[in-house]
Structure 1
Amino acid sequence: MRLPSRLLLPLLLYPACALALLLSGCSTMDPAAVHRGETRVAPLTSSELAQSDVNRMATLAMRDNLDSLYRLIDKLYRRNPAEWRKTSSVNREAAIERVRSAIDSRTPWPELQGKRDIAALSLALSPEFKGDRVAAFIYASADMLIVAHDGKTTFYLVDGLDAQHIHNAARNVESAVWLLATRRNSAGQPLLLADEISERERNLSFEREFGKMVGRLDLLSEVLTEKYRRAVISYVQNLAGASFLQFLPVR
């Protein structure tokens, strides 16, 4: 059966028109609309000559983990504005800068009563803590990370890192996130509002940021472990090579 020409023409034209519209949309798409950032490249400095590849990796991981904590303190203050209002800071930005300055200078945080490392983290996440919990939690987390890295944030050839301490720091971050999500104060409320899953909203940005920190710590721990394992293997290979891989005379 032959279709009338008045019906055949639209069938031939419509797919072509749809394809033309699709190609037109693709060709005019603004590249900026799908831009999702780019890799950071730090300027080359003379101090890097005293760094091995692992030293550099540890330095960048520490930088990024501290940056994650600085992003988290901003997010936590936005969700828990009553915390920074417990302080003498005039606004949220000033409160953030005060904590950041204390971390950078390794100045003890007054509300943590002289405690450092995991003792400070435990106090910051205790239901009885009455001070600025956001500041105490972020400061204690940063202090724990720095202690796990032998008290340093930049690493050189003379520095040594303990893979088990880095691994333990990753587990400490996981524990802190779990406590933050499950512990309640005396009134039965969460210690701090963070991730939210409801019928109206699904906000897991806190979990993702903490997850990045755990991933960096675990990777560094594995690299450090592999570094020493490969050193042993290379030593054995060199011993074997000295005995069995010698060139033999051919005349």
Structure 2
Amino acid sequence: MHRIAVKLYKRNPKEWKKSGQPNAAAAIDRLFAGSLNFPELEGRREGAAALYAFSPSYQGDRVLAVMAGLLGMVYAAFEHKDDFYMLDSLNEQKLYNCARNIEIAIWKMSSTRNDSGELLLVSNELDPNNPNLSFEREFGRVIGLLDFLSKVVADKNGRMITRITQSIATSVFLPVGGL
């Protein structure tokens, strides 16, 4: 997730400036400092924080909002633990939902525009002369890991993952922390 945040700040330098940071490195340090409670998110966490990044009324650092939301979901999927022991377990549904939420965030980044028709957050570059799909690869790596872990945990526990079908055009983020 750190690489994704770095890439987003490189593609969207105006965002770290909105939060009053002296440079992108300081904004990234702030994001990964430990707490995901940022005053500009007004108490929003996980899906609510990520959705706030795409709200036309939000004037703050959109990279911070979307990454804080996604990081909160990933932390919740891993039960807010940094270390795991042999007898610890994970919830396959949380891992699965987290992977789907990252897919939703990718779609929102590539489709949500302001009143002028500009993307709120620039990620992939689809210019045929100079394509840049590095975001797809980075996000795909994270999604693949989460999907793999959810399958392993489901197989280990003899459970099934509830696959939720929803229209991406009207999608909201799936619950992760409250499961």
Q: Same fold (TM over 0.5)?
A: yes
- How far apart are residue 107 of structure 1 and its match? 4.0
In the alignment, structure 1 residue 131 sits paired with structure 2 residue 63: no
- CA distances 1:8-41 after superposition (whole Å, capped 9, x unpaired): xxxxxxxxxxxxxxxxxxxxxxxxxxxxxxxxxx
- CA distances 1:93-126 after superposition (whole Å, capped 9, x unpaired): 111111111xxx2341221110111111111222
Q: 1:221 maps to which residue? A: 150
In the alignment, structure 1 residue 179 sits paired with structure 2 residue 179: no
Looking at structure 2, the residues matched to 161 and 80 of structure 1 have their Cα atoms a distance apart, in angstroms, of 34
- How far apart are residue 187 of structure 1 and its match? 2.3
* Among candidates 86, 99, 103, match of residue 18 of structure 2: 86
- How far apart are residue 146 of structure 1 and its match? 0.7
Looking at structure 2, the residues matched to 94 and 185 of structure 1 have their Cα atoms a distance apart, in angstroms, of 26
Q: 2:46 maps to which residue? A: 117
Q: Where do 4+ consecutive residues of structure 1 move more than 6 Å?
A: none
CA contact (8 A) 1:170 1:217 kept: yes
Q: 2:6 maps to which residue? A: 74
- How far apart are residue 158 of structure 1 and its match? 4.5
Q: How many residues align?
A: 159
Where structure 2 has 5 or more consecutive residues not aligned to the other structure, the ranges are 160-179
- Find the residue that maps to 2:18 and give its secondary structure: coil
CA contact (8 A) 1:128 1:185 kept: no
RMSD of aligned residue pairs (Cα, Å): 1.6
% identical aligned pairs: 43
CA contact (8 A) 1:180 1:190 kept: yes
Alignment-mate amino acid for residue 126 of structure 1: S
Q: 2:138 maps to which residue? A: 209
Alignment-mate amino acid for residue 171 of structure 1: R
When normalised by structure 1's length, the TM-score is 0.60
- Find the residue that maps to 2:32 and give its secondary structure: helix
Looking at structure 2, the residues matched to 153 and 145 of structure 1 have their Cα atoms a distance apart, in angstroms, of 11
Matches within 5 A, 1:40-59: none
Q: 1:31 maps to which residue? A: none
When normalised by structure 2's length, the TM-score is 0.83
The structure with the largest alpha-carbon Rg is 1
- CA distances 1:117-145 after superposition (whole Å, capped 9, x unpaired): 11111112223221010111111110111
Looking at structure 2, the residues matched to 74 and 224 of structure 1 have their Cα atoms a distance apart, in angstroms, of 30
- CA distances 1:142-201 after superposition (whole Å, capped 9, x unpaired): 011111222223222343211011111110100110111011122221011110011320
Q: 1:106 maps to which residue? A: 35
Q: 2:120 maps to which residue? A: 191
- CA distances 1:195-237 after superposition (whole Å, capped 9, x unpaired): 001132010000110000100000000000111129xxxxxxx
Larger relative CO (CA 8 A, sep 6+): 1 or 2?
2
CA contact (8 A) 2:36 2:72 kept: no
CA contact (8 A) 1:127 1:183 kept: no
